[in-house]
Amino acid sequence: MRDSERSAEFVAFVRAHRADLVRTAVLLCAGDEAYAEDLVQTTLTRLYLSWSKVRRADSSLAYSRRCLTNVFIDEARRAHRRRETSVAVPMDALGRDPAGASPDLDLRALVLNALSSLAPRQRAVVVLRHWHDLDVDETARILGCRAGTVKSQNARALAHLREFLATADHQLDLEVS
């Protein structure tokens, strides 16, 4: 494949899917938008380097989400990670009901705070299973673990979210599918 062809396809892919990757990364990073942007940039670079695999994939978006999750897990493995954390919504908005605040803003702060209380792999399971609607087997394939591990991580994550949200005096409909 010529470089110009790869570049043209890459640009079209970025235009079409970057926003999706950023939103996924924001969830994986529990609202740390700078960290999410780093992950997306790293992911896009890796995709470009292996562009033939993106072309061969049944779904380039699904492949890129898989790559993004791997980048996130790699990052989560970093020992003694020190990072300045910035979040889109102040965490202290949690549980408050300031006059005039948007209900979605409250909900966003609440959910991001709840996600931040999960271990990285559990967070990835929640995002893949409950936002991207992937089944257990596909989630296991992306995370490089067994289906049983995904099920147990998912159950633990939902239990933790329930507990977390209960202490925040909210109740989220957490159905295990």
Partner 1 sequence: MTPLPDLKHALDVAAGDEPRPSDPSADLDRAQAAVRARSRRRFRLGVSTLATAALVGAASVVVLDGSPTSPPSAAAAEVQLVDQQFDAEPYTFDLTPEGWSVQAQMPSAVTIAPDDGSTSDEPHDFQGKLVILFDSNPLTGREVEHDGRRFWVTENPGHTIISTRTVDGEPTGVVRIQYPHDAGWEESSMIEFLASVHVGPGAQHGLG
- Candidate list 79, 84, 92, 100; residue touching partner 1; CB under 8 A: 79
- Interface pick for partner 1 out of 39, 126, 136, 150 (rule CB under 8 A): 126
Instruction: Scan for tokens 């957490």, then name that residue.
Output: 174
CB 151 within 8 A of CB 143: no
Among 145, 151, 156, 160, binds partner 1 (CB under 8 A): 145
Could you give the string, one character per residue 19-38, with x where binding to partner 1 holds by CB under 8 A and - elsewhere?
x--xxx-xx---x-x-----
- Give the contacts of 9 (CB within 8 A, at least 6 positions apart): 51, 55
CA–CA distance, 124 with 130 (Å, rounded to integer): 10
How far is it, in rounded angstroms, from Cα 161 to Cα 110? 11
Please report how close the Cβ of residue 5 comes to partner 1 at its closest, in angstroms. Answer: 13
Distance of closest approach, residue 52 Cβ to partner 1, in angstroms: 11
Interaction between residue 165 and partner 1 (CB under 8 A): yes
